[in-house]
Structure 1
Amino acid sequence: MMKNLLKILFAPLLWLFHSCSPLGNPVDPEKSDSHYYNNSKSEIRYSPMGNWFELGNTGMHADVESFEVFNRWLGRDKDQLFYEAYAVTNLPIDLATFRVKDEDYMAHIGFDSNFVYAFDKVYEGDAYRGRATIIDGADPKTYVQTDIDWANDGKLHFFRNHKIEADFDSFQPLNDYFAKDSSRAYVRNDNCFESFGADVASLELLGESSHTIDKKNVYWLPFFTENASNPIALPYADKAEVEILNPYFLRVADTIYYDGQARPDIDNQSFEIIDHSYAKDATHVYYKDNIVENADVATFRRLEGSYKYIDKNGTYHEGRLEEK
């Protein structure tokens, strides 16, 4: 009874919602849930997943008769290619041979007879436009995206659309920051992988961290320090004395490092991680790399069941005592 009553009450609202829709039928429902004709079928409109009420809809200024959908993001008419609602005009793409692949991770990738393209949109002046970027060196006949970041064409590996100059067959990503092949080690600089002087045979990940270690050095990526070298080589004598303490701190023998920088002022013997960004030794409490002024070492702790930190003086937020 209640279900029927609700249907009766909401039926007028649903009718009103659909009657106000600027969208008509989808252009090709098997390929895209975002490309629609308008109600008079005189215009193509782009509405992400058809959710015009929350996500809006945009006229595409495309030729209706010749418009063709490739997937949720890409389409073309007789004159131009579109990314979402916006014409791609920055590169001369061969429309006659343009195609996409329906494989996973390939929705923003397209091909013509000469190049592989990655597509996105940019805001210029007071409007968006579609943008195509040629993936340098990629073979349009064989290129495939293997996950959201990595791709290959059988001869070259690519990370986020940047080619990697490495031996193809022996190339091995260790994570999204380090890789190696049979003769060289690589570290990521922005989105490009560049070789660096690690020992290839012994290079491996440092535990479950983003950093690596070989037979002589820890290679630390300074995520929290601006303008630091990349990576920082930290020599060690005994691998058993290397201990990653949390994302910020590393112990090598008797030295504590913060984000790859030695901290001789921290007492190694008494140093301990409190939780996440906080640590302490016998004389100081630390928030990341800063001493927490006037914090009481003996009573400083995380408040159970919360992310607040307290000592006998009060409550701390981001390394500072909150005012009472």
Structure 2
Amino acid sequence: MNLITNHPYISTIIIILILNSIIKKITRAKHSPLVKVSLFIMAIISQACSPFAGPVDKSISDSYYYSKSKRNICYSPMGNWFELGNTKINADVESFKVLGRDFGKDKNHLFFKTHIIDNEVDTATFYVDDDNYICFDKDNVYRALNYLPHDFTQTNQEKKHLWKVAKANPKTFQKIDSDWSKDDKHYFYNYMPIDVDYNSFTILNKSFAKDKNQVYSLKNYELLASTIDPTTTKKINSRYIADNNNIYDFQEYINGEKVDSLTSIPYQNIDNLTILEDKFLLFDNKVMYDGIIIEKADASSFQIIQFPYSRDKNHVFYHEEVIEKADPKTFSVFETSYYSKDKNYVFVYGKLLKGADVATFGPVNKKHSLLYKDKNHTYRGDEIVRDN
């Protein structure tokens, strides 16, 4: 009885769940008629339990709210007070207004989330460009450290909340994409100014950039100068570039290991170079994938089946590896794509699934099954989970 009187909302939910279970058993229905009613009631209860009277300005921010009494301003990320918390901030309610999703101000202070940032910016001229997650005052350009990778936080010796973009002119600063920005005198790579020739600088793709003097490989936060010829260098796709002699590929990490690997692949002629799904390059009767020439691939007959599967007239490939014993003419891929087959064999992850019966192999369920079976076994991946 105490539970019902002291916790009416919880009691209501428990009663609904019990009734729901009873009705399902009686009617043998998949879904009880009380399901929709339950959801409706829970939505009302959730609203009734909310600590907020409403958002300060819903059109700008879903994180600043008036308290239930309207005597305080509260910060709750996306209004998810139940999971992400609800913090009262030291703001004057009457004068408080929202500047951006995570920025606000009153007559006394400027706020980032729950923090006062008066000492970090010029408060009189501060404004927020929420579309690009950057902010400005009359002297500087800023980005909230919360929006930046952990590496920036580690360099934050002064424990500030905003990252000041060095050398940036707030009057001319503009975002180019998620990695690049510029003003009237500098280019910025991940909000760091870079030392390049401004007038001739060109971003080639996600891995390379160049100016009149050099071609640069792009790491996360810095540019590595190379000996590639900038005058003849051109973009091939989002990953590769070429000069008059070679195709180039840069990888900062390979299999999780930091390597800063710049690979050059010589060519004779790339005038008729073909790109398949932005992953495979076909040139000089060669096929290149992930910076590697696939040695046994025949470029003239090469085609993608369903990535990462491909074939030519002689072989079937999984990524860059030949699938041994696979017949290219009869090869096909199952809906759960780590399984495949030809007329003779079943394969998993591009390897022979030993003992599998190709004639009876297929999904346990008709749609989206992770378990497959044949007349002898049931499989999960390359493991037998039970005998049939």
Whether the aligned pair in 1 keeps the contact of 2:56 and 2:64 (CA below 8 Å) is yes
Shift of 1:265: 4.9
1:300 is aligned, of 325, 328, 331, to 331
Q: Unaligned stretches of 5+ in structure 1?
A: 1-8
Matched with 1:159 is 189
1:291 is aligned, of 319, 322, 328, to 322
SS at match of 1:182: coil
1:216-236: CA deviations, max 9, x gaps? Answer: 221224489445554422221
Higher helix proportion, which one? 2
TM-score of the pair, normalised by structure 1: 0.73
- What fraction of aligned residue pairs are identical, expressed as a percent? 30
Matched with 2:5 is none
Whose RCO is larger (CA < 8 A, sep 6+)?
1
2:350 is aligned, of 310, 319, 324, to 319
Whether the aligned pair in 1 keeps the contact of 2:189 and 2:221 (CA below 8 Å) is yes
Supply the distance in 1 between the matched residues of 2:84 and 2:92 (Cα, whole angstroms).
20
SS at match of 1:137: coil
Larger C-alpha radius of gyration, 1 or 2? Answer: 2
Q: Confirm whether residue 100 of structure 1 aligns to residue 127 of structure 2.
A: yes
Supply the distance in 2 between the matched residues of 1:272 and 1:248 (Cα, whole angstroms).
12
Matched with 1:235 is 266
Moved more, 214-223 or 261-270: 261-270
Shift of 1:119: 0.8
Matched with 1:192 is 222
Alignment of 1:1-324 (within 5 A): 16-29=45-58, 31-50=60-79, 56-65=84-93, 67-76=96-105, 82-84=111-113, 86-87=114-115, 93-94=120-121, 96-97=123-124, 99-102=126-129, 104-105=131-132, 108-112=133-137, 114-121=139-146, 131-206=161-236, 208-222=237-251, 225-226=254-255, 229-240=260-271, 242-266=273-297, 272-280=303-311, 284-302=315-333, 307=337, 309-322=340-353, 323=356, 324=374
SS at match of 2:135: strand
Shift of 1:276: 1.8
Matched positions, count: 306
Query: Residues 222 and 311 from structure 1, CA distance in 2 versus in 1: closer, same or farther, beyond 3 angstroms?
Result: farther
Supply the distance in 2 between the matched residues of 1:233 and 1:11 (Cα, whole angstroms).
62
Structure 1 counterpart of 2:341, which letter? I
Whether the aligned pair in 1 keeps the contact of 2:77 and 2:84 (CA below 8 Å) is yes
Shift of 1:82: 4.1
Q: Unaligned stretches of 5+ in structure 2?
A: 1-37, 154-158, 357-373, 375-388
Shift of 1:35: 0.8
| C-alpha RMSD over aligned residues | 4.0
Whether the aligned pair in 1 keeps the contact of 2:217 and 2:250 (CA below 8 Å) is no
Whether the aligned pair in 2 keeps the contact of 1:82 and 1:130 (CA below 8 Å) is no
Query: Residues 99 and 315 from structure 1, CA distance in 2 versus in 1: closer, same or farther, beyond 3 angstroms?
Result: farther
SS at match of 2:123: helix
